Structure 1
Amino acid sequence: MDSNILGQIALAYSPLIDRNRSVSATRLSIFPLQPGAALDSGSLLEAISEVWPVGGPAVALNVLSESLLQDILARQPATHMMIEIPAFMASDPENTKLITDLHANGNTMLLKGRPVRELPREVLPCFKHSIIDLSDDRRIDPSSVAPHGVMRTISHVQSGVRTVADMEACFRRGAVAVLGWPIHDAIEGATRAADQPGLQVIVQLIDQVHKEEDIEKLENTLKRDPPLAFKLMRYINSPAFGLSVEISSFRHAIMILGYQRLKRWLALLLATASKDVNLRPVMYAAVRRGLLMEELVRSSGDDEMRNEIFICGVFSLLDRMFRQPFPELLKTIPVPERVYMALAENAGPYQPYCDLVRAIEGETLDEIRHGADQLITGFGEINRAILKALSAASQLE
């Protein structure tokens, strides 16, 4: 993953969420940093294949450069790599052979955007789905009509989804999947948290670990919810965290890890414990945030900082899960001071990392550039962190 290509592009990611609210694929958006610069598509595909190997999870490539996308089409990448093709390129007869050849190779292609003219007859069957932005969907705006000769004859994926309500509405309108992080729901001003009893067990455990209470007390708390205990052991033994020994029990975990290191696994458990199916994408986002923020400080931070910033990322969406503002929520969940400052006050040394991760999730190049500038970090380092974090996340699911 040391390719020079990673210093010439900006990467962003978002989920493809199916009707079961599971992430069926990851969309990787690729922005050239210098418009018109010649980029090595082979090196790019090699770097991507390290994270998404053949036989592994699916990835959809959203390439924001016409020339780079044409080069990728010509290389006929591995068939588990889905390719997004803008409607204007699909409508251009000069691209017909590239598209039909890739279809014959077995790749899944997604038609991005609303066509302004009819696609060549042999091109339309090459696309499995069309990607229609929420703001551009004729199902929402009945006054909008399709151009003459253009019909939606394939199923559609809805992009630009930012809230759970939007996600649910898109599925009701017939979307086979939605593209985007539904994490922008408004937080209620009330001080009472959402009624999620399973989460309270983990909150109690975090408090007990923070106070370094006796192992027997922690074990008794965990016994109240055996499925949580199983999930915690699975996380701790995941390849994503690379422990050299297998943890066989909660008591063993405390003996090997210690109270401070155990906090990160409990944080991960809390962020993924909700049984609300609509919160699954929020939980996926929280895991990726924690892993990415940890990778961003791996070369410069000590163990304490890496553990804290992981917790900061994982906890950064708890207000959505509990539907409670952070200043109130964190009265019951003990966190380090620097984490509290970032989550409750939008301040402190971890805040720029939160801003960069949100920019990456938002898939807006200008905001990603600004976030990188705030951290004084090169894109090669940022992109390597993104790919490592996404690889680690796939090992937890």
Structure 2
Amino acid sequence: MLATLIPLFDDKMSVCAYSVFARKENHFLNPEMEGGARYDGAGTVHELEVVSSMGMSMLSGGKEVFVPVNQFSVFAEISLQCTVPANKVVLLMDNSITPEPNYVKRVKELKMQGYKLAIRKLPISSFEPYKEILNQCDYILLNHAKIDIEKAKIYFGKVYPKIKLCAVNVDTKEQYDMLISHGGYDLYEGGFFRMPVRESETEVNPLKVNYIELLNVVNAPDFDLTDAADVIGKDPALTISLLEIVNRMALNSEITSIRHATAMLGQKELKRWINTAVTKELCADRPTEITRLVMIRAKFAENLAESFEMSLLGQELFIMGLFSAIDIMLGKTMKEALDMVLVPKDVKLALLDNEGPFAPVLNFIKRYEDADWTEISRLMVLGNMDMTKIYDAYLSALRWYRDLFPVTVTG
């Protein structure tokens, strides 16, 4: 199976929910499954496996997660497959679920069980026939290019006042700006939001300069631990974080200084910790989705090393993923940002020119994040990659992020 998380945003570019996109089979290897895949494992909601595996704490602030169901899986024993709170799960239906009595009854049952409901791929002509199902829905996903939002606001405000409108296929900043200026939508989803961007800064603030200095120290060949310790000592938050990590390691010895702490970690672990901790700080004034995306992308890249026959280059691939949004972190162009930090040559080639040995890994990850399963399937066949290993690599990255930055789930 393949699966990824797609964020849904509000008009302030804050992540409000995620949608799980999954495919069970590689249709290039099993072409006969493409038309009939939906019927295989009809009693299983495969996307719930992803949600249950990673846990709700993986989703920033315990956000809701949209999980697709079809005309068969809607009748599954969903409560037995779902290990997260029902009120955090939005069961996403499509027009394969018709407004017939057996479906209407099942939808009402799921609502009574505490699940939230959403529907997509519903043409305007079906709004009235679907009245009983729409009355149970919390969200409706609309293709903004095929809907008159002014008329939709009036219609839904009058007939279904509790339903939230979600614009899908929003792929450019221009489309987004136009939609929010008109209002009416509660959530937005589209390619534009895979890497949310805000206005650039002309200068990098002093604290970020300190972080960049630290990145350059630890990414230099055979760096000096004392140099890293001296830069860490300039930032109280990093100092506290470092001491907390080392104190867990040194149960029977006293840590006497920051230099002592860095020596305890050693070059390899210190480098890994600094790259992740500093990246989090660089993202601190940006949408939290960027932190989530680059951290998961970094670990996913490292986990893919074996599949791309780069087992010895996992650390470099990790850095590539981590710095893939360095332009947004610093409010610079990618070239300007990479001129400020020290990164391996192949990482720079991939990020700046989409060239070199690491570029295929980065392109694969971006396609995966977009749930472009057709292209991902093709690349797996060409590279003789095992789908289970790819899926495990992604789930492992999700769990790593969950454990790295645990959050408290509310409500």
Q: % of aligned pairs identical?
A: 21
The residue that corresponds to 2:389 in the other structure is 381
Contact 1:134 1:158 in 2 (8 A): yes
CA distance in 2, matches of 1:150, 1:383: 44
> By how many angstroms is 1:46 displaced?
4.5
CA distance in 1, matches of 2:233, 2:153: 58
The residue that corresponds to 2:352 in the other structure is 344
Q: State which drifts further: 367-376 or 329-338.
A: 367-376
Q: Which runs of 5+ in 1 are unaligned?
A: 1-5, 238-242
Q: Do structure 1's residue 51 and structure 2's residue 54 form an aligned pair? A: yes
One-letter identity of the residue aligned with 2:214: L
Contact 2:153 2:184 in 1 (8 A): no
The residue that corresponds to 2:193 in the other structure is 182
The residue that corresponds to 1:203 in the other structure is 212
Alignment counterpart, residue 5 of structure 2, candidates 8, 13, 17: 13
Q: Do structure 1's residue 159 and structure 2's residue 162 form an aligned pair? A: no
The residue that corresponds to 1:3 in the other structure is none
Contact 1:187 1:325 in 2 (8 A): no
The residue that corresponds to 1:39 in the other structure is 41
- Partner SS state of residue 195, structure 1: coil
CA distance in 2, matches of 1:304, 1:285: 24
> By how many angstroms is 1:274 displaced?
3.9
The residue that corresponds to 1:103 in the other structure is 111
The residue that corresponds to 1:124 in the other structure is 134
- Partner SS state of residue 99, structure 1: helix
- Partner SS state of residue 317, structure 1: helix
> By how many angstroms is 1:221 displaced?
2.5
> By how many angstroms is 1:289 displaced?
0.7
- Compare the two structures and name the one with the higher helix fraction: 2
- Partner SS state of residue 182, structure 1: helix
Contact 2:17 2:65 in 1 (8 A): yes
CA distance in 1, matches of 2:166, 2:261: 43
TM-score for both structures, normalised by structure 1: 0.77
TM-score for both structures, normalised by structure 2: 0.74
Q: State which drifts further: 284-293 or 153-162.
A: 153-162
Q: 1:329 to 1:76 in 2, by over 3 A?
A: closer
Alignment counterpart, residue 65 of structure 2, candidates 56, 60, 81: 60
Q: State which drifts further: 218-227 or 285-294.
A: 218-227
The residue that corresponds to 1:225 in the other structure is 235
CA distance in 1, matches of 2:281, 2:173: 18
Contact 2:20 2:66 in 1 (8 A): yes
> By how many angstroms is 1:253 displaced?
5.2
CA distance in 2, matches of 1:253, 1:41: 53
Q: Do structure 1's residue 317 and structure 2's residue 325 form an aligned pair? A: yes
CA distance in 1, matches of 2:176, 2:206: 25
CA distance in 2, matches of 1:277, 1:55: 20
One-letter identity of the residue aligned with 2:386: G
CA distance in 2, matches of 1:299, 1:232: 33
The residue that corresponds to 1:372 in the other structure is 380
Alignment counterpart, residue 20 of structure 2, candidates 20, 28, 43: 28
> By how many angstroms is 1:268 displaced?
2.3
> By how many angstroms is 1:157 displaced?
3.1
In terms of Rg, which structure is larger?
A: 2
Contact 2:69 2:92 in 1 (8 A): no
CA distance in 1, matches of 2:210, 2:57: 39
Q: State which drifts further: 39-48 or 365-374.
A: 39-48
CA distance in 2, matches of 1:327, 1:272: 21
CA distance in 2, matches of 1:325, 1:54: 33
Q: State which drifts further: 274-283 or 313-322.
A: 274-283
Instruction: Give the aligned CA root-mean-square deviation in angstroms.
Output: 4.2
The residue that corresponds to 1:255 in the other structure is 263
Q: Give a deviation string over 1:115-158, Cα, whole Å, max 9, x none.
A: 4312544422322222234444533xx58899999955312233
Q: 1:306 to 1:219 in 2, by over 3 A?
A: same
Q: 1:183 to 1:164 in 2, by over 3 A?
A: farther
